[in-house]
Amino acid sequence: MSPVSGRLPDFPWDRLEPYKATAAAHADGIVDLSVGTPVDPVPELIQRALADASDRPGYPTVWGTAGLRDALAGWCERRLGATGMAHRNVLPVLGSKEFVAWLPTQLGLGPGDRVAHPRLAYPTYEVGARLARAEPVVYDTPAGLDPDGVRLLWLNSPSNPTGRVLGKDELAGAVAWAREHGVLLVSDECYLELGWEADPVSVLHPEVCGGTYEGIVAVHSLSKRSNLAGYRAAFVAGDAAVLGELLQIRKHGGMMVPAPVQAATVAALGDDAHVAEQRERYAARRAALRTALTGRGFRVEHSEASLYLWATRDEPCWDTVGDLAELGVLVAPGDFYGTAGERFVRVALTATDERVAAAVRRLSA
């Protein structure tokens, strides 16, 4: 057994391959609603910014250009309601998954330390803890968590996979708990601009953090809101002391966002029109899929935000995956996200209008 395979879980998506093959054999082709990868075009103004910055032969900086840091801080103030954001409060990263996976290691966590994450959660929280040889622990609410040994507390609102949104009081309670016990709180907010039946709030909002970023960091991504998954454009914001330490580590590791991507990020954060247009696409797909799923006997829980419908027919999730694969529709089994998801599937909104329409026809037949 290799050192890596001995401490990491199997890559979950490999288990879905036989079902993908079944779905792909459908006469009208597969409708892949499993992985939430964007399929719509990168907005023209972002493509243009990337192209205009393509002649950059020198190394970029880990902390980013002044223009990028202005854009990150300004967006946090304008969109999240954060106050007093300065350059030291923001840091660009190479996609949010990289940050999530390597944060425990970069924080110096190891054996004897615990990393807490929600019971139903993005698998990379656990993977990041295991890469650092720390112990991953799950929680239902931070208040019910034994603080002994906990060094890092992950929040995720809106949630992947459930789409659940934590309210201001819940977020403020988590911040208070983390500060009381000297635990770093990191909030994964990558779906914050995709609220449907709720208006997601950031931990950086003054009504949540009390106007100070001490002990808190928020993670944001442009993958979903701007279709930039292929650009690996993301950033973190919050406690200047924490980000300063991470900056030094990332400088040593050469973890630099490419200069053209930095320029594209500035353009993306400066334009709200393309975000509204993309939201309309997802809203229409969400409405169509939700109606088709409920008409076929599914119950949709939470899902008030994000790019997924968290659905169940009160049966084992792999039975549901197999049944839908026979229709040529591929979805993600809920147990990818923890044992609490064993009777759910996650249905992504990230397929073209034509493919979503095909899925709706098949589900409604």
Q: Is residue 216 in a domain?
A: yes
Whether residues 85 and 213 fall in one domain: yes
Whether residues 37 and 168 fall in one domain: no
Question: How large is the average pLDDT for residues 317-323?
Answer: 98
Cα–Cα distance, 63 to 69 (Å, whole number): 8
Whether residues 76 and 17 fall in one domain: no
Cα–Cα distance, 263 to 49 (Å, whole number): 6
N-term to C-term CA, the chain: 48
Radius of gyration (C-alpha) of the chain in whole angstroms: 20
Whether residues 312 and 215 fall in one domain: no
- Give the chain's mean pLDDT: 96
What pLDDT does residue 179 have?
98
Residue 175 has a CB neighbour count (10 Å cut-off) of 23
Q: Which of 269, 303, 336 is the last residue of a domain?
A: 269
Instruction: Flag whether pLDDT at 315 surpasses 90.
Output: yes
Q: Is residue 6 in a domain?
A: no
Whether residues 228 and 198 fall in one domain: yes
Q: How confident is the model at residue 13 (pLDDT cuts 50, 70, 90)?
A: confident
Whether residues 122 and 168 fall in one domain: yes
**Ordered DSSP codes for 306-332:** SSEEEEE-SS-HHHHHHHHHHTTEE-E
Domain with residue 260: its CATH number is 3.40.640.10
What pLDDT does residue 1 have?
42
Whether residues 126 and 240 fall in one domain: yes
As a whole-number percent, the residues of the chain with pLDDT over 90 amount to 95
Q: Which residue has the tokens 């929280």?
A: 125
- Angle at the Cα of 285 from the Cα atoms of 280 and 290, rounded to 5 degrees: 125
Whether residues 345 and 215 fall in one domain: no
Domain with residue 335: its CATH number is 3.90.1150.10
**Ordered DSSP codes for 118-147:** ESS--THHHHHHHHTT-EEEEESSGGGS--
Q: Which of 247, 269, 291 is the last residue of a domain?
A: 269
What pLDDT does residue 121 have?
95
What pLDDT does residue 101 have?
97
Encode pLDDT of 56-86 as tens digits: 999 999 999 999 999 999 999 999 999 999 9
Cα–Cα distance, 42 to 39 (Å, whole number): 9
Instruction: Flag whether pLDDT at 3 surpasses 70.
Output: no
The pair of three-digit structure tokens given for residue 278, joined into one six-digit string: 């993309």
Whether residues 79 and 186 fall in one domain: yes
What pLDDT does residue 274 have?
98
Whether residues 171 and 234 fall in one domain: yes
Encode pLDDT of 220-259 as tens digits: 999 999 999 999 999 999 999 999 999 999 999 999 999 9
Whether residues 236 and 308 fall in one domain: no
Q: Is residue 46 in a domain?
A: no
Q: Is residue 7 in a domain?
A: no
Whether residues 312 and 169 fall in one domain: no
Instruction: Flag whether pLDDT at 5 surpasses 70.
Output: no
Cis amide leading into 111 (omega within 30):
no
Taking a C-beta distance cutoff of 8 angstroms, is the pair 80, 190 a contact?
A: no
Q: Is residue 141 in a domain?
A: yes
The pair of three-digit structure tokens given for residue 330, joined into one six-digit string: 């591929």
Note down the domain range covering 75: 55-269
Q: Is 305 helix (H, G, I), strand (E, B) or coil?
A: strand
* Number of separate domains in the chain: 2
Question: How large is the average pLDDT for residues 200-207?
Answer: 98
**Which long-range contacts link 13-19 to residues 24+ away (Cβ below 8 Å)?**
13/336, 15/333, 16/321, 16/330, 16/332, 16/333, 19/321, 19/322, 19/325, 19/330
Q: Is residue 61 in a domain?
A: yes
Strand pairing category for 308-312 and 345-348: antiparallel
What pLDDT does residue 4 have?
53
**Which long-range contacts link 167-176 to residues 24+ away (Cβ below 8 Å)?**
167/201, 168/201, 168/205, 168/207, 168/208, 170/141, 171/201, 171/203, 171/208, 172/207, 172/208, 172/209, 172/210, 173/141, 173/142, 173/143, 174/142, 174/203, 175/203, 175/208, 175/209, 175/210, 175/215, 175/216
The pair of three-digit structure tokens given for residue 130, joined into one six-digit string: 């295991």
What pLDDT does residue 14 have?
85
The pair of three-digit structure tokens given for residue 197, joined into one six-digit string: 């039946």
Cα–Cα distance, 203 to 299 (Å, whole number): 30
Encode pLDDT of 140-193 as tens digits: 999 999 999 999 999 999 999 999 999 999 999 999 999 999 999 999 999 999
Q: Which of 241, 269, 297 is the last residue of a domain?
A: 269
How many angstroms separate the Cα of 51 from the Cα of each of 38, 110, 142, 275? 20, 42, 45, 20
Encode pLDDT of 275-290 as tens digits: 999 999 999 999 999 9
Q: Is residue 3 in a domain?
A: no
Instruction: Flag whether pLDDT at 6 surpasses 90.
Output: no
Residue ranges in the chain assigned as alpha helix (H): 17-24, 44-52, 66-80, 96-106, 124-131, 168-180, 206-209, 240-253, 259-269, 273-295, 317-326, 353-364
